[in-house]
Every structure is written in structure tokens, then in C-alpha cells.
Amino acid sequence: MLIKKLVLASVLATLANSVIAAQVYPLTVENCGIKETFNRAPQRVVTVGQHETELLLALGLEKKNQCHVGLVWSTTGCGSGTR
């Protein structure tokens, strides 16, 4: 579990550095071989899952979050949804 937390911390630190460094638009980001160009900063955000929503809140961007979608898979009776 500690290794997962350390890996997550290093990924977030790397992402934070690239976000801080990239304040010029248009901004082109490449992920999995696909390039996406943004002409301006995103005005609205939709998050999927609690973790992504908490990251957005921690960054102080709660006003940009237009929608939060939660997914629940429960095979043990835990959670509020059914499968």
C-alpha cells in the first residue's frame, strides 16, 4: 500500500509540474498516442468517481465541476447501488 501511495504522489507531482509549466494556449497534450489541442483553459469539468472529484476539490476548482458521476459495483452488499 505504501508503494501505491508513493507512486501516486510522484505521478501527481509530475502532473502538477507540467500543468504549472503549461500556461500558454493553445496547449497540445498527447496521451496514448492521441493528441488533443485546447485553445483555452477548460471552463467546465465532469468527474467520474470520488477520487477525481476529491482531486478537483483539493485544487480549489469546485466551481468548475458541473457534474459528478459515481460508479458502484457491489458484490458484497456494500455501497448504495446494485449490479
Mean pLDDT over residues 17-42, rounded? 80
Q: Is the four-CA dihedral 80, 83, 47, 44 of positive or negative sign?
A: negative
Residue 51 lies in a domain: yes
Does the predicted model carry a pTM greater than 0.75?
A: no
Alpha helices in 1-83 (DSSP H): 2-21, 50-58
Give me the pLDDT at residue 82, please.
44
- Asked if residue 52 belongs to a domain, the reply is yes
Q: Is the pLDDT of residue 51 over 50?
A: yes
Report the percent of the chain where pLDDT is more than 70. 60
Is residue 28 left, alpha or beta, with left meaning phi > 0 and alpha meaning psi from -120 to 50?
A: beta
Examine the pLDDT at 83 and tell me if it is beyond 50: no
What is the residue range of 65's domain?
A: 44-73
Position 49 in a domain: yes
Q: For the chain, give the percent of residues with pLDDT over 90.
A: 7
Give how many domains the chain has, as a whole number. 1
**CB of 25 within 8 A of CB of 38?**
yes
Chain-centre distance of CA 24, in angstroms?
A: 20
Mean pLDDT of the chain: 73
